[in-house]
Structures are given as C-alpha cells and as structure tokens.
Structure 1
Amino acid sequence: MKSMINIELERAFRSTSFWIAILIGIIITALQFIQQVIPAAMNPIYWMKSNTLQVPANAFRDSIIMGDGWYYQLYIRLVPILVTIPYAITYYTDYKKGIVRNYYSRTNKKNYIVAKFLAVFVTGGTVAVLPLVINLLATSAVLPSFAIINGEMTCNGNGMWSYILYSHPYIYYVMYFILQFICAGLLASISLVISRYVNNVFIVLLFPSVLCEFINAIAQWFPTKILKDLAPWRLFRIDQLAVNYWQSYIIFILVILFLDITIYMWRGVKDDVL
C-alpha cells in the first residue's frame, strides 16, 4: 500500500498538468496582489474614506480572500476545473491505456484504488489552497495586521467561525484553508466516480465543474438555508459573502465520501479489468 501511494503521489506532483493548475491559480492571485495590494502598501491612508471608522489598508482586509474585486470571484468559479486538471483524469486514462493491468499484476486492486484516490485528493486540495496561502503571506509581508473592525469585512457576526475571525484572524484563515483543502480534494474525486461510466476524457475533466454550476443555479430554490449553502460558490468563499453553515460542509463531505466509497472504491475493487 505504502509503495503504491508513493508512486501515485510522485506521478501526480511531477505531472505538468499539476504545475499548470498551480500556475493558473498563482497568476490570478498575483494580479490581485499587483493591482490592489501593492498600491495600498505604497499609501495605506489613501484607501481610508473620510469620516468613517475604517482602518488603513491591512493584510486581513486587502488580501484576495477578503479584498474587493472580481479576482476572488473568478478564482472560486475556476476551482472546480482547477482541482481536476492535475490528476483526476488519470484513473480514466490508466484504464484506457491498459496501465492498470501492470499495477494489478504487482499489487492488490485495493492498493491502487486507495492510492489513486489519495493522489487526486491531495493534488486537488493543494491546487485550490496553495495560491490563496501565497497571496495571504505576500499581503501580510507588505501590509500591517490590524485588529478587524465589524463592518470592515463581508463576514458578519452570524458567519461561521466569525468569533474566531474577529479575535484570531490567522487561526480563522488556517481553519478555513484546511476545510477548503478537504472540500476541494473531495470535489476532484467526483471525476473518479464517473470515470468508469463515460467514454470521453473531457467529460471526466469537466463534470465536477458542470455539476457545480448546476448546483449554483438550482440552490436558490432549496427549502432551507443550510441546503442553499451547498452551492459551491458559497462553500468555497472564505470571506462568507453569504453566510456559511457548518452543517452544509458536513453534508457536502459525507455525500461525496459516500459516492467515493460505494461507487468508486467498492465498484473499482469488484470490477474486472477489461
């Protein structure tokens, strides 16, 4: 099992597609840093509105995660496709190219299935979170970290973990990065679930993105706030432009885990290699 996991992780992190996905994310966050953070760092007082309680430009408010502009919105919309680019299609291509026969002749099916899941999960989570971490660190290096004033951020007192955000902002960011890593990794694994049921690599690549946009479109008709919060554009927003609920994340995680275990893992172990 351990050797199979090492092989899959090495394949994943050495792949060109992984670094392309990382580069796309870094380009978006770098543009925000250049166009919004650097000007604010050059003259923090300029960004204050007169006769208000606003504080000068600071790392918490002006990073891409909490900053105004279309950069974060673009990033969130691209997350479902970015997480699948690195490695999510390889389960499909391994079967099509017959690579799985070589693996199955040397190791148990279960080892390959689990190793593939872990590689897809880790690369998907890394691609979704790493550019945001770099942006936050870079912003913190050039802007001060002031205490957050209520009304300065989109996350209000009803937001999930808001009491942590207003008392220990960096802990809030770390906790949300971990949560986003898990959700993004599981989102990438949806491609594994459908890989044996389709006959086109582009369907495998784009299915999570199409599914997310579909849920975004219909979530407004869901009967409760918790179900409405299942819309990916809300789940992946750390700034909580719309209030997030912890129950929504639990549902999201459990549903995808159920699909991964029952359809991808169980079916993958039971099926014969054609």
Structure 2
Amino acid sequence: MFREEIIRVFTGRSFYLAVLLGILASFIGIINYGYPGQFDDLVAIKAWMFAVASGGTAIFSIFAPLLSTLPFADSYVTDLKTGYLRSILMRTNKKQYIWTKLAVNALGGGLAVSLPMFISLIFSFLFYKNDLPLDASLLGAFSTLGKYSPLLYALLLSAVGFLFGMGWATFGLALSIMIHNRFLVLGLPLLIYIATNFVAAIMAAVLNIRILIAFTPPSTLAPFTVTVSKWWTVFSEIGVLLLISTIFFAWQSRKGEVV
C-alpha cells in the first residue's frame, strides 16, 4: 500500500501544482530584492531570505500552509467519497492504512514546501554574490550559523521548511476526519495559520511578552523575521502541531471514526 500511495502523490497534479506555486511565490520575493547584477551589494543569502519571507512582496511564507496541504491532505476525503477506501481495506487493515496515509501525506507536504525553498536557494547562489557573510544584524534562531556559513544556514532552514510542511499537511489530514469537504480541508489550515499569527502578535503586544512573537507561525518557517526566535520556539511549535495532529488522526481511527 505504501508504494501505491507514494505513486498517487508523485503522479498527481496537485503535488506539482504546489511546487510550481511555491517557486513562483519565492521568485516574486526575489524580484523585490533586486535583479542579479542590478546593484553591486546584492548578496545570495539575502536574495533567498527575500524569496522566503523578507520584503513587501514576500508571499511564500504566507501561503506555505496551503502548499503543504495541496499534495495529499484531502486524500482521505477523496478515498471516502469515491469508494476507493472500501477497496483498499479489502487488501489491507485499518492500522496500515492510517499510518501509511499519515507518512505519505507528511512526505508530500514537506517536499511541497522545502523544494521551492531549495530551488530558490540554488538560483540565489548561482546568480548573486555568495562570498559575503551575513552582517551582525542577523538575529533569531540559528543566526550564529548564518554568520558563519550563509549556505549552511539556508540549507538548515530549508530542512525546517520540510518539517513545517509535514506539520501543516498532517494538520490538514486530521481536519479531514471531521470535515468531508476537500476544499475546506485544503484551505482551512491556511486560515487558521493566518488567524494564529494575528492572535499571537496581539497577545505579545498586550501582555508585553516579547517571546510570544516568536510563536507566530510564519516565524517558524522564517525565524530571521523575528529577532527573539530561538531554536526551541521553532521546533516546539512544529513538534506540537505534528504530534497533536498525528495523535488525533490515529485516535479517531481507533474509535472507528475514520473508516
């Protein structure tokens, strides 16, 4: 079954649509930074940071949850409504179906977010100067690595992007147990992501607790946008989202709600 689900993800149009949209979104951000060769001080790593989250036209970090859910988060709803689920369960058991679905969906969501980040990274380091380190103004999670090696810093954040995509894809799949509308399953995580960002920012301002701003969801994907972000704020937010979503999906399956 695992092989069948993998084939469904990587032969489906939704995965490639998500990657394409992610690439387009990242390049919109790069354009705001400046074209290669336009100015002498344009640096590869900063071009990549604009691709992900910096600047007024940076939309990648805003729509990243949608990219993560597009490939496969609605697959349970599709299986249920088309009758494919009944066919699968004639050949495998419920436990294998649930854990395969979780794993393949997380893989598709992780790649849908991290691949555009990696592709824009390659573009930035090919066409912009890459011999200049980040200046001392870089703060936030993993900033020490960024000052030492901008390339390793960008690679690490691309890996974080993979985990981010896994988390939000799993959240979307968990929602599909309760919501059997594929469009809501795909889009609702984005709306919750935006609302959570707004609420966390308001709470940080009202309570005057600066560290709360590090828990705004976009700062998990792009910690360089929040100076007080730490490695533990990044991984704890992703970890909690992934863990709760996985447990909820598995728990509902044990209750017999999934199939």
Quickly say closer, same or farther: Cα 1:251–1:212, change in 2 above 3 A. same
2:19 aligned with 1:22, yes or no?
yes
Q: Distance in 1 between matches of 2:240 and 2:223?
A: 21
Quickly say closer, same or farther: Cα 1:104–1:162, change in 2 above 3 A. same
**8, 13, 28: which is aligned to 1:11?**
8
Structure 1 residue 68, shift from structure 2 partner? 5.3
Quickly say closer, same or farther: Cα 1:105–1:206, change in 2 above 3 A. same
Larger radius of gyration: 1
Where in structure 2 are the equivalents of 1:256-267 lying within 5 Å?
Answer: 256-267=241-252
- After superposition, what is the alpha-carbon deviation per residue over 1:170-203, rounded to whole angstroms, capped at 9, x for unaligned? 1111111111211221111111112121232222
Per the alignment, residue 52 of structure 1 pairs with: none
- After superposition, what is the alpha-carbon deviation per residue over 1:108-140, rounded to whole angstroms, capped at 9, x for unaligned? 211111111112111111111211211111121
Structure 1 residue 209, shift from structure 2 partner? 0.7
**168, 179, 188: which is aligned to 1:187?**
168
Where in structure 2 are the equivalents of 1:186-265 lying within 5 Å?
Answer: 186-220=167-201, 221-222=203-204, 224-265=209-250
Per the alignment, residue 123 of structure 1 pairs with: 108
Quickly say closer, same or farther: Cα 1:101–1:269, change in 2 above 3 A. farther
2:56 aligned with 1:70, yes or no?
yes
Per the alignment, residue 121 of structure 2 pairs with: 136
Q: Distance in 2 between matches of 1:272 and 1:234?
A: 34
Structure 2 spans left out of the alignment, 5+ residues = none
Residues 197, 217 of structure 2: 8 Å contact kept? yes
Where in structure 2 are the equivalents of 1:46-125 lying within 5 Å?
Answer: 56-63=41-48, 64-65=50-51, 69-72=55-58, 74-125=59-110
Q: Distance in 1 between matches of 2:53 and 2:191?
A: 27
Per the alignment, residue 131 of structure 2 pairs with: 146
Q: Distance in 2 between matches of 1:254 and 1:68?
A: 24
Per the alignment, residue 162 of structure 1 pairs with: 143
Q: Distance in 2 between matches of 1:27 and 1:65?
A: 10
Per the alignment, residue 36 of structure 2 pairs with: 40
Q: Distance in 2 between matches of 1:130 and 1:266?
A: 31
When normalised by structure 2's length, the TM-score is 0.87
**SS of the residue aligned with 1:80?**
helix
Residues 61, 67 of structure 1: 8 Å contact kept? no
Structure 1 residue 219, shift from structure 2 partner? 0.2
Structure 1 residue 33, shift from structure 2 partner? 4.7
**SS of the residue aligned with 1:83?**
helix
Q: Distance in 2 between matches of 1:66 and 1:110?
A: 37
Residues 110, 161 of structure 2: 8 Å contact kept? yes
Q: Distance in 2 between matches of 1:78 and 1:172?
A: 22
Residues 84, 188 of structure 1: 8 Å contact kept? yes
Pick the structure with more helix per residue: 2
- Tell me the amino acid that sits aligned with residue 239 of structure 1: F
- Size of the alignment, in residue pairs? 254
- Tell me the amino acid that sits aligned with residue 222 of structure 2: R
Q: Distance in 2 between matches of 1:211 and 1:67?
A: 19
- Tell me the amino acid that sits aligned with residue 69 of structure 1: G
Q: Distance in 2 between matches of 1:253 and 1:29?
A: 22
Q: What is the root-mean-square deviation of aligned Cα atoms in Å?
A: 2.3
Residues 134, 147 of structure 2: 8 Å contact kept? yes
